Structure 1
Amino acid sequence: MAIGDSCSDASLTQGDQHGDLRSISEAPPAHYILNIQQLSLLTKQNVERYESGEFEAGGYKWKLVIHPNGNKSKNVGEFLSVYLAMADPTSLPPGWEVYANFRIFLLDQNNDTYLKVEDAMSKGRRFHRLRTEQGFDQFISLKEFSDSNNGYLLGDNCVFGAEVFVCKERSKGKTESLSMVKDAVAYKHTWIIRNYSKVNIDCENSNIFSAGDHKWKIQLYPLGKGSIGGYLSLRLALAEPEKVASGTKILAEFTIRILDQLDTRHLYRKASYWFSALKPDWGWQRFISHGTFFQTNRGLYLKDVCYIEAEVTVHGETTIFG
């Protein structure tokens, strides 16, 4: 951080009605210069928003965002809108905020000086994952910008610049982030158990399969889980719960079926559950009674073979940070 560029009050020559402080600087911007040639071609191509390349300042990557005819999403007209944006907001840990003082420059090509615009707020602007852009809706009027006497736009060329000074970083404490999956996809896995009569009488696990960026397995308890007796238990489980971060929960909708090998009378149960490292499995202790499973007129168990299918859809994931 440069001396004198911390989050402190600055002595500037001019303020405006929007709380922006404006001054004239002979020194060029310290961190980035953007030279735009043939600016009018941007507007002719209906480019409402132009993003510069990335530059680094204060340990973060930034970019300039320019709306040549004003930010339409904020109903700004007759002005240029200019913003500073974090180029890679995902590099900021969830729950963290960055406070930065920044200045946007516009070159007066007639006098080789810069119009310098900065925020009147002495504490800096706050950036975080949900607010990645800060700046000036009414950076300069199009009338003033286009007047060649001012030197800002000459020969259809203009030059912008930026300086960024990060003055504070802090955590907001615990933060919970929930990400839902749009158009979630269902994944199916079929487990063929041959020689069923020889499976582990306590618990048998299927092969591991993937669904929604996580690994899963089916758990079979031939004599029931716990001391219930007379039932077969089936559960869906995270295959690698130790790799799931603390505080992370995974919302999965799943169906477990025992397929009927003689007919389409498959036996199934359906549920939704938040899986986590501490609660890695869920299912049914009384999924099916032994009497029904071993019925000779059905094909749930046939010639010592059983087909169990899991259909898993991951709908969302929540993580707690801090």
Structure 2
Amino acid sequence: MITSHDVVSRHMSFCAPIPLSDLPMKGRKAPPTHSLFKIKSFSLLSNASVEEYTSEEFEAGGYQWTLSIYPTGSKKKGAQFDASQYKFDIAEGCWTRKNDHISVYLNLMVSSSKSLPIGWEVNAIVNLFVYNFLRDEYCSYQDANVRRFHKLQTEWGIPKFMDLASFSDPSNGFLIEDTCAFGAEILVMKPPSKEEFLTMIDEPVPLSYRWKFDNFSRANQEKYESEFLAGNYKWKLVFYPNGLLEGKGNSISLFLSVDTSSISPNTKLYVHCILRVKDQIKGQHAETKFYRHFSSSNLTWGSRTLVLLAKLKDPTKGFLEGNSCIFETEFKVLGLVNSL
């Protein structure tokens, strides 16, 4: 003979993972982004046998939603059986719901939302809030799971959002002067607006270039360029003898730049590079190292303050020999990045 206790035990043995309501709530000062409404005279709402109060529609992620509050718990058909929410009524001879929790549900309003294609679904991260007046915080379970809404499942919520005893106790701060507030925040997950694929190159070829710049003291142009071909791409070193931006007037600036005509559309080169000004006496070179994407929108990278002009011109430092300086670059194209 199967007893009511056996039925409860069986249901409990097949329980889902730990429900959100068994986890601690966390508070924050910022209000929910998409919906917030107050209920005054909450006790009158629950005493009036109102099973469900639904907010006005609001927009989030391009869709229309409503928030439903069940003052004495949801009695939705098909809800997962939870023995803790039921008691055995001896007079009726059956299990009845205790009605000792507040339930909160989010509803996707399909008829009011934008046109939805056949087989549509909306995936979203949903957080439901209750305001704590004493702490001045909006409290939620901070759930990061993605909830799936579709034709047969247009709502999601927390049946045991908060037990009525805790909620109704003024010392807890959720119901003050018979007033409370609930809210919702929804992050609709949409396909990425841009996708990138990085293809690393096995054993990338070391590339290098050396540029001897003569007659430094006579350099009267803002910048000088030296073009070269390396790794099937066109490059150039760009040199500012009197510096650029924050280096202007106090340093020399040196950059590596790629010729956009040598790169396929929607392609970036992932490069590791060293730019150097050689110390021609002691070998104590001045250099900068970086990892960088080179593309049609990011052609150039380097250093605006590679060497102080005073240091470069100091004959004991070895950067100028016979009024000439030597620039070098060593780099590898480590991978290709393609965008869709």
Larger Rg belongs to? 2
TM-score by length of 1: 0.44
Using the size of structure 2 for normalisation, the TM-score is 0.42
